[in-house]
Structure 1
Amino acid sequence: MADDAKKKGNPIVETIKTIVYALLIAGVFRTLFFQPFWIPSGSMKETLLIGDFLFVNKMAYGYSFASCPSVILPGFGINIDAEDICGVMRGDNSRLFGSEPERGDVVVFRHPVSGRDFIKRVIGMPGDRVQVQGGVVSINGTPVELQPDGVFEEIYEPQGPQGTRPRCSNGPVGNGAICEKMRMLETLPGGRQHTILDIGEQGMDDTGVYLVPEGHYFFLGDNRDNSSDSRLPQSAGGVGFVPFENLIGRADRIMFSSAGRSMLFFWTWRSDRFFKAVQ
């Protein structure tokens, strides 16, 4: 009997070992292959809605310090940043098994200053000259093609865990009313198409010319009038140009989507967004 007990070991120790092994496996999986990401804001509507849950393909662009996961557990006082784990890899703006994104990819990246994860669309490649005039993006002096594509409608009400309310082109509207935005189909050089939303003339509809540095990328949100992106420099609270090494991965497919305050509220899941491809 004593030999059997020795073989089985201490149950508490065995449980701890199992948890540690599971965390190590999950950490390796998240670092090398896919990272879960829950959309917290409306900057990428209607491509991505608040409450969309997706896995980011971390194999798409290779690996850098930004590929390491951050471990943030406020309840336990744990706040380990990716740079704390893999900061030694930062600095030369290179990647292991690196592959450049394509124009039009929807990418999760690490903000160059705050370190927060952002998700936007690649619009400008290294060496491009990007400008916005009258709400129309020009790349290297050529305006992109825009076609009217109807009206995007949503309910004017608090959305997601932050309880933010949408901005409307037909506003102001009351709580529970229909909030409208004009939908446009944007075609980038190379033929990639996606929808963008517009609520009318805004301050960032007209900009100067941005010359994208080598090894950097220019990002925009699809919800153009409600997006903090590369149009604003980092010193003004924007994203600015994003270094190659700050890319985390490509958003390929939505797994499910919650219209409620939490992704655990399964009764609020949107039935039309299961396994939906990100265009």
Structure 2
Amino acid sequence: MRRTLFSYAATILLFAITLTPHGAAAGSCICISCAFNPKLENFRASSAAMAPTMMTGDCAVMRHIDPQTDQVQRGDIIGFTHPVQPATFVFRVMAIAGDRIQLKDGGVVLNGHPLPQVMLSEDISTVPTTPPFPLCAERPAIPGKSCTRFRLRETLPSGKSYEIWNIGTFRIDSTPEFIVPAEHVFVLGDHRDNAADSRVPQAAAGPGMIPVENILGIFE
């Protein structure tokens, strides 16, 4: 499994979603409220690791928090400082301290209970003619040809739901069970097959589980 994780991390490292800060306004990113509220900051997503929720180039507003007093919840989309890289990343919190979490065949098992997933649609686009090329159900992705991703709705025990992308059977669709230690969270990208998230340990260039002290804010 360790070799598999390392190989996968090398493949998807470029798709860990980083954030480019844009202040109150930059280009097509406009955040009027950011100019008047110092706790708000505008960012532009640099990859599709959080698609379909946050697409490459999308603008998003993060509300800065004090992670010691403002506890994040399962399902929150957070911005955080990568534990070993000088960059701000964004992923969805899937498990908090004390939780047990595992992926089995692409599904999430949280504290022994599989999270419901409902198929919504097939999202079909065209593979661009220049890199970077997307990950698609069609493999390999051929420039100018169709690229299919399966859109599903996943629901947490709290009732909070969100949409994810899956491209079928892929690496680390199945993982060992992780137990989240104190003062940490476990995060996943919504584009499950295209995200270097907590499934990928720091030893393999991933973030591993995120220390609470590294959390910068929650996306509105």
1:168 pairs with one of 127, 131, 136: 136
Deviation at 1:30, TM superposition (A): 10
Deviation at 1:36, TM superposition (A): 2.1
Number of residue pairs aligned between Structure 1 and Structure 2: 187
SS at match of 2:193: helix
Give the AA of the match of 2:40: F
Contact 1:129-1:139 within 8 A present in 2 as well: yes
TM-score (norm 2): 0.79
Unaligned runs of 5+ in 1: 1-27, 63-93, 253-279
* 2:41 aligned residue: 35
Cα distance between partner residues in 1 of 2:37 and 2:205: 28
Contact 1:170-1:181 within 8 A present in 2 as well: no
Cα distance between partner residues in 1 of 2:219 and 2:70: 15
**Equivalent residues in 2 for 1:1-279, closer than 5 Å:** 32-58=38-64, 61-62=65-66, 95=68, 98-157=69-128, 163-252=131-220
Deviation at 1:197, TM superposition (A): 1.0
Give the AA of the match of 2:138: N
Indicate the RMSD between aligned Cα atoms, in angstroms: 2.0
Larger of the two Rg values belongs to structure: 1
Cα distance between partner residues in 2 of 1:29 and 1:212: 37
Higher strand residue share: 2
Deviation at 1:178, TM superposition (A): 2.5
Deviation at 1:179, TM superposition (A): 0.9
Give the AA of the match of 1:41: S
Contact 1:158-1:164 within 8 A present in 2 as well: no
Higher helix residue share: 1
Identical amino acids, percent of aligned pairs: 34
Deviation at 1:34, TM superposition (A): 1.6
Q: Would the alpha carbon gap of residues 165 and 31 (structure 1) be closer, same or farther in structure 2, given more than 3 Å must change?
A: farther
Contact 2:134-2:141 within 8 A present in 1 as well: no
Contact 2:129-2:144 within 8 A present in 1 as well: no
Q: Could you report, residue by residue, the CA deviation over 1:2-44 in whole angstroms, capped at 9, with x for unpaired residues?
A: xxxxxxxxxxxxxxxxxxxxxxxxxx97994122211001101
TM-score (norm 1): 0.63
Deviation at 1:172, TM superposition (A): 3.2
